[in-house]
Structure 1
Amino acid sequence: MSQRLNPTQLKELKDCFSVFDSDDSGSICVKELKKVCESLGIKVGDRQVNELMRLMDRDGSGSVDFKEFVNVMAEQFFREPTPAELEAAFDTFDQDKSGYISEEELLMVMTRFKGNITISDVQKMIQAVDKDRDNRINKKEFIAVVLNQKY
């Protein structure tokens, strides 16, 4: 890792890792990696998942531990997402293609990742992001949050 992660970034990676490590084994196996891809709407075959695992599994153990996960994912903190990546991320949430992320859409996607999220949690998330106060997240608000910018 060419740059050091700050404590907030490291915590975000730990939280993300724990979501991916659905069996709490301390590592991500091929099956879990495929599930993550599918929950993100990324259709991958066995060959693609195995190749992704090979790239991430630096010690050849057959799974990705937290240290390997950090090494692979940390670079994401130091680069700007492409416009295509931002579009794809927004579209993952905007299920009905309305141009907005509603409470229901955010709840549906977040439940796939965290499982025990409540509508109250979702409402708080929307309030934190929703600058025009229309109780939904538009693309501009979404991108501002992803890029950690002011709207």
Structure 2
Amino acid sequence: MPPKLSQSQLKELKDCFHLFDNDNSGTISTRELKKVCESLGLKVKDRELSQLMQLMDKDSSGSIDFNEFVNVMAEQFYRVPTPAELEAAFDHFDQDKSGYISEEELLLVMNRFKGNVNKADIQRMLQSVDKDKDNKINKKEFIAVILSNK
């Protein structure tokens, strides 16, 4: 049984689920899960992907529905990422290793998840995170937004 989630946390999970559900079928297929892993820079072998699906797909339907997704992901709201995990996540977005995540880098990474993220979406995301208003996200801003959800 997952921990109790707030409405805001459930909405966040629903948004995330829809990013992964590329064909809008209401489930995440093995192919979609593999794409998510690849977009995160994870090279998963077929055996590992199969194990991950078995872990998440509790009803053995061959895909992950929203409730199954919530059951696995809910605990992430209560887990504080390690400094190494935060660093790796920032580095994944900071593709040119400038120490900042630019609008272009944010657009590139977000489009790996879902191919239809537009510049207006990215600008809204950037504005909500960019506290010093320099039109880019530094490591401190990135970490602050990640930890603010904990």
**Is TM (by shorter chain) over 0.5?**
yes
Q: Which amino acid aligns with 1:81?
A: P
- TM-score in terms of structure 1 length: 0.92
Identify the residue that residue 63 of structure 2 maps to in structure 1.
63
Identify the residue that residue 105 of structure 1 maps to in structure 2.
105
Distance in 2, matches of 1:121 and 1:57, equals 31
Distance in 1, matches of 2:95 and 2:9, equals 28
> How far 1:2 moved relative to its partner?
4.4
Distance in 1, matches of 2:75 and 2:100, equals 29
- Between the two structures, name the one with larger relative contact order (CA 8 Å, sep ≥ 6): 2
- TM-score in terms of structure 2 length: 0.92
What CA RMSD, in Å, does the superposition of the two structures yield over aligned residues? 1.4
SS of alignment partner, residue 143 of structure 1: helix
Distance 1:50 1:107, change over 3 A: same
Q: Percent identity?
A: 71
Task: Report 1:120-139 matches (<5 A).
Answer: 120-139=120-139
1:55-99 per-position Cα deviation (integer Å, ceiling 9, x unaligned): 111112221111111000000011111112111211111001111
Identify the residue that residue 41 of structure 2 maps to in structure 1.
41
Report the more deviating stretch, 127-136 or 71-80: 127-136
Q: Which amino acid aligns with 1:6?
A: S
Identify the residue that residue 77 of structure 2 maps to in structure 1.
77
Question: Would you say how many aligned residue pairs link Structure 1 and Structure 2?
Answer: 149
SS of alignment partner, residue 51 of structure 1: helix
